Structure 1
Amino acid sequence: MNGLVRKARWSANGRWAGREWTAVRRSVHSAFEESGPERDTLVQSLKAAAAAIIAWALTGWWLQAPMALLAPWTAVALVSSTVYQSLRTGSQQFGIIVLGTVWASAAMAVTHDQTMAAMLLTLPFMTLLGNYRRFGSQGILGASTALFVITYGSSSASNVGHRLLETLIGAVVGIMVNALVLPPVHLRSVRDRLRRLARGSADLLDAMAHGLREDNAWEKAGNWHTEASRLSLSLQGVADARHWATEGARWNPGGRLRRTGPPPPPFTEDVRWGRVCTRILAVARTLNESGGDGRGLPTPPPCFLVELSDVLEQAARMCLEEAEHPASATDDRRRERAFDKAWVTHRALADNFQHQEGPAAAVGGALLLETRQLLMDLAPRP
């Protein structure tokens, strides 16, 4: 019995490792083959590494500073997702590091370089101060810096000045690298996230359409509902990208130093796709709850489900059109043709619904209404 459990556990771990490896390969391929979040992450990582190397070269190699590690440590932290974040984080970090350095040095002087006594005077206060909201996530650096100062065991004015200088050099290097070397602008991210959301919606609708034509459709309904719920995560990704696009434009020279491309789609697109995700989730939930076997809702007749699968397939094509083709006059005509085909299939579904009777009619009515609203939300905008 234990052998079977271990075998199942190893099998599960193997599947997990396989999924992770596939995700890593996909991310690496996307970073090198197309613009998107993966490439942005690669660029920012390389910039952080370069900033750390430059900061170390200035302090450890050129200035021969006694505590040069503060400079690259600060530089890495300041290569943030936006230039505004770098400047704000830089001021927070420099302020808390100055406080940690000065307080720890004073504690060492008062205790005559007694490490334990200096820690008792320093760490409780700096840890509490680090939770002050004005320091944000950088608050912990005050206690960390104080530990460095105390463990190095020197509180002379010269050493304190060196530490502050090293921190300042690291902050300046990190901010300058982030602001002047491919400064992140994030205008493309909103469009990329919306396309990914549209592609994910198309894939799910297509899976539902094909699954409804199979004998084991109700066995897959639970997975459809789960995948529809996960679309909300993609929608949150769009909201995050919108936030970064707005913040990325603040104090950013990227508009003059980089080709930023077209502006992101308007916020109304986020709202529209929020409605689309809600409609898909409602359809998936109704199907999941009407699969028979005591699930609570009666199952619509097979002929109705066939017509429903046609509607979902056309809706999937409309989502795919938005995912794969940018807005243009030609693409608008293509979307209009896709919408016309989808509306024809929905009229056939409505005609089929008129023949339903009994409790199943309530389920069919809910599906009819939600698919109609789904098509209206996907309709070409005037």
Structure 2
Amino acid sequence: MKSTLTRLKPRLRHPGRYQVVQSLKAAAAAIIAWALTGWWLAAPMALMAPWAAVALVQGTVYRSVRTAGQLVLMISTGTLLAAGAAALTGNTMIAMVIVLPLTALLGNVAPVGGQGLYASTTALFVLAYGSYSGPAVGHRLLETLVGAAVGVAVNAVVLPPVHSQHVGGLAAALPRDSARLLRDIAEGLEDYDTPRAQQWHQSAKDLLAALSELYVGRGWDSESFRLNPGHRLRRWTPAPSTDWDPVWARVANRLLALTLTLWEAASEDRGLPRPPVSALDELGRVLSAAAEACEACRSIMVDGAVDEEGQDRRNAALAEAFRALAAVKDQMNGRGPDAGAALGSLVADCQALLDDLTPNEGDADVGVLRPRV
């Protein structure tokens, strides 16, 4: 048991404020729905109300409303089909043989996402408990409606979820992690080995994974303002502009290519020789200055056009990076074809990286980087 817990511990994540709030809201919605149907209405199958309420405390108010319609439709369909089959056949087993294939197929083909499962599970509940008389069916549908209403109401009224803060954290992490990787490469260029180069390449892949997470998060952020009655009353910080997303996508891809070249140059299985130490030293200066530019861009992302200090810091770092890159280019003359290929690939990736971090003409005053065509 101890060894199992030790293996699982690194995979366990500390719950954030959002997870805690949504979990408590789901529990509260279930308790309220149970109190209304089981205690006040004395419904015979009050389980349906808290079941629906928990399912409808979703990540956005809009998603709760949309899911409520889908869930009620599937539960109603499963209930009516099961009750009808039981009434016609008078036998629970035969009714299951008739209804379950229909509800399972309906759940898979209907455009209701994961709510399609409720058609089959509801039909099973109806037939297993024998609650398919007219009053029982009416109670089941009423309990479902009460639970759906409670779940949507709790999610909309009690701290309705807004995802701007989460998206802001994801966006700010991209320049921070890019700068961290660039500094790590710059510090280890002179004597790096294959495992370290492989680690750099994996870190570059992680940047692309973080970018995908950001794209998903922006979708949640946009959706969280739809049908949200409380977003104007809550304090929130807008996420950085989407104009920056293509920039960090290109930076991540440049780093992926750069680290792949370094990895191949360090591998004994490849015929690509390692660039000379003098060139690697200058490349280290390029990458250190690029890391400084990334951190300056992060400051501009957060503060916007008012961050003149961040703009000056970025411009100075880019100027230093281009000077160091010019020194690397001077060392390319006279190299052998293989050594020139490795160094040329690194120079091309660094040139593209610096171009991506440089604002287009007219954008430097506002601190916004525009996608390059």
Superposed pair shares fold, TM > 0.5:
yes
Q: Distance in 2 between matches of 1:108 and 1:182?
A: 44
Q: What SS is found at the alignment partner of 1:134?
A: coil
- Whether 1:56 aligns to 2:31 is no
**Cα distance, 1:322 vs. partner?**
4.0
Within the candidate set 261, 264, 286, 1:289 is matched to 264
State whether structure 2 residue 358 is matched by structure 1 residue 379.
yes
Give 1:340's aligned residue: 316
Task: Tell me the equivalent position of 1:20.
Answer: 11
Q: 1:345 to 1:15 in 2, by over 3 A?
A: farther
Determine the C-alpha separation between the residues in 2 that align with 1:124 and 1:328: 57
**Aligned pair in 2 of structure 1 residues 42, 376: CA closer, same or farther (>3 Å)?**
farther
Give the corresponding residue for 1:89. Answer: 67
* Partner residue of 1:312 out of 269, 283, 287: 287
The residue that corresponds to 2:135 in the other structure is 158
Counterpart for residue 367 of structure 2: none
* Shift in CA distance, 366/339, structure 1 to aligned 2, threshold 3 Å: farther
The AA in structure 1 aligned to 2:199 is N
In angstroms, what is the RMSD of aligned CA positions? 2.2
> How many angstroms apart in 1 are the aligned matches of 2:304 and 2:11?
38
- How many pairs does the alignment contain? 356
- Relative to structure 1, the CA distance from residue 182 to residue 373 in structure 2 (aligned partners, 3 Å threshold; closer, same or farther) is same
Does 1:228 pair with 2:207? no
Q: Is the contact made by 1:104 and 1:122 (CA closer than 8 Å) also made in structure 2?
A: yes
Q: SS where residue 274 of structure 1 aligns?
A: helix
Letter of the structure 1 residue corresponding to residue 53 of structure 2? A
Identify the residue that residue 181 of structure 1 maps to in structure 2.
158
**Identity between Structure 1 and Structure 2 (%):** 47
Flag the 1:332–1:237 CA change in 2: closer, same or farther, 3 A: farther
* Aligned with 1:327 (options 303, 312, 332): 303
Q: Distance in 2 between matches of 1:235 and 1:57?
A: 44
1:127 alignment counterpart:
104
The match for 2:278 is 303
Per-residue CA deviations over 1:185-224 (Å, capped at 9, x if unaligned) read 22333322111222222222222122214x3433311111
Task: Quote the residue 2:18 is aligned against.
Answer: 40
Unaligned runs of 5+ in 2: 365-373
Residue of structure 1 in register with 2:231 after alignment: 255
Secondary structure of the corresponding residue to residue 19 of structure 2: helix
**Partners in 1 of 2:43 and 2:192 — Cα distance?**
70
Deviations 1:31-88 (A, max 9, x none): 3xxxxxxx22222122111111111111112212111111111111111111111111
Q: How far is the alpha carbon of 1:15 from its aligned partner? A: 6.7
Cα distance in 2 for partners of 1:257, 1:340 equals 41
1:5 corresponds in structure 2 to none
The one-letter code of the counterpart of 1:20 is R
Q: Does the residue aligned with 2:112 lie in a helix, a strand or coil? A: helix
Q: From the superposition, tell whether residues 378 and 15 of structure 1 become closer, same or farther in structure 2 (CA, over 3 Å).
A: farther
Structure 1: stretches of 5+ with no match in the other structure? 1-9, 32-38
Q: CA deviation at 1:163?
A: 0.3
Alpha-carbon deviation of 1:329? 5.8
Structure-to-structure mapping, 1:139-158, within 5 angstroms: 139-158=116-135
Alignment partner, residue 95 of structure 2: 118
Tell me which residue corresponds to 1:6.
none
Provide Cα deviations, 1:222-267, integer angstroms capped at 9, x if missing partner. 11112211211100111111111222222221333322333x3332
Q: Who is 1:137 aligned against?
A: 114
Aligned with residue 217 of structure 2, among 227, 238, 241: 241
Contact 2:328/2:347, CA 8 A, preserved across alignment: no
- Alpha-carbon displacement from aligned partner over 1:14-41 (angstroms, at most 9, x marks no partner): 87434225xx2xx34xx3xxxxxxx222
Asked if structure 2 preserves the Cα contact closer than 8 Å seen for 1:286 and 1:363, the reply is yes
1:354 aligned to which of 326, 330, 355: 330
Alpha-carbon contact 1:228-1:280 (below 8 Å) kept: yes
Q: Distance in 2 between matches of 1:176 and 1:160?
A: 24
Contact kept? 1:47, 1:79, Cα under 8 Å: yes
Tell me by how many angstroms 1:308 deviates: 1.2
Give CA deviations for 1:128-158 in whole Å, capped at 9, x if unaligned: 1111232221011000000011111132111
